[in-house]
Amino acid sequence: LRGPAGKRLLDRALGRLGRALAVTIGPDGGHASRRPDLALELLFDLQTLDEAMVQRGLAAPDTVQRAIDQLAAAVRFFTLDDGALAAFQGGSARTAAYVAAARAQDETGDRATALDLGGYQRMDAHALQVIADVAPPAAGAWSGRACDQPLAIQVLVGGRRLIDAGVGRRMATASTAEVGEDGLTSVLTGFPATVLGSRLADTGLVVEVQRHAAPGAVWLDLAHHGWMKPYGLMHQRRLYLDLDAGELRGEDRLTPTAKAQGPDGRHFVSYAIRFPLHHGVQALVSQDRRSVLLRPASAGAGWILRNDALEIALEPLIGGRGVQLVLRGQRRADSGARVRWKLAPARHQIDAPKDPA
């Protein structure tokens, strides 16, 4: 459309777009769905709009230019060492070439990447790269593919993916701790899902995060209160990245609260800490069942995850390809539980299981 009518239509559309962008993009560039790949797709769309307006001799509104800058910062934050995106909250990693195309206009150069953005925390050290989900899942219309994965992590070693945040929407496939077997949220079904889509219900989760740094180390103290109502427990997770040794040390605690001290606290509850392994990662459990040798696809070097869990198992991923490492236990709710684990380069070959005599 040309002429005054076309200009009025364009101005009206750009005004609506500006209002929609204010709702969709947070101040730091995070997408309202909390999906890194949707931030990437929206960046592509706005770049295309900007180029189309330039070709017509027009300048994109400040709201569009500001949104492009914010989304570019978000995509930079979520781009991992392999060139693809971090995959959380139902999103996909995309390919490195696809991500690079969106970043072709990024003029930041060697500017340092943000440490936290959109409810995620990032830690980098030598061959280790860790991103943690430290916010509740999206709510309402934004939760159409959101996942039940509070405090989940994604880990890369030597630029290769080792541990994924999860596969599917339920906690039984997420790299976090689960108490019982019911998870924290549910997905709408039946008539509500027909009308509203497959949104998450009960997403009012409280998550706490503290970031610390010292010479040679950076660590996160994380917690969520999702298990308080059903079990009187709080999940606390510490992620400690040793910058000198290139090791990731983790500690997961189920801490009893006042509710767990009542009659219900004497009941035993089961818990599981899961590490969904990226597709192609090879895993071998040691004879003492305290260590697991992990070798990423197409990588010669292995990594060992040591732990002090009561039980360790390799199980098929529910709804996905590959396997997950599961650390299990059972404790009284009023006594809580603690599991420590460490991911470090394999300096010595782990013992292979022997054939039965």
- Give the tens place of pLDDT for each residue, 210-242: 999 999 999 999 999 999 888 889 999 999 999
Cα–Cα distance, 24 to 4 (Å, whole number): 30
Which pLDDT does position 112 carry in this prediction? 61
Which pLDDT does position 201 carry in this prediction? 79
Strand partners, 323: 316
Q: How far apart are the first and last CA of the chain?
A: 82
123-126 CB contacts, 8 Å cutoff, 24+ apart: 123/218, 123/220, 123/239, 123/241, 125/218, 125/241, 125/242, 125/243, 125/246, 126/243, 126/246
Which pLDDT does position 275 carry in this prediction? 97
**CB 129: neighbour CB atoms within 10 A?**
24
Cα–Cα distance, 279 to 166 (Å, whole number): 11
Structural domains of the chain sorted by starting position, each given as residue range(s) with its CATH number in brackets:
1-104 (no CATH), 119-357 (2.70.98.70)
Q: pLDDT per position in the chain (357 positions), as tens?
A: 577 888 888 889 999 999 999 999 999 999 999 999 999 999 999 999 999 999 988 999 999 999 999 999 999 999 999 999 999 999 999 999 999 999 988 776 556 678 999 999 999 998 999 999 999 999 888 988 888 899 999 999 999 999 999 887 888 889 999 998 877 877 777 777 777 777 777 767 899 999 999 999 999 999 999 998 888 899 999 999 999 999 999 999 999 987 665 555 568 889 999 999 999 999 999 988 899 999 998 776 899 999 999 999 999 987 667 899 999 999 888 888 999 999 999 975 444 434 444
- Give the tens place of pLDDT for each residue, 323-352: 999 999 998 888 889 999 999 999 754 444
Read off the amino acid at residue 65.
Q
Cα–Cα distance, 323 to 258 (Å, whole number): 37
**CB 323: neighbour CB atoms within 10 A?**
18
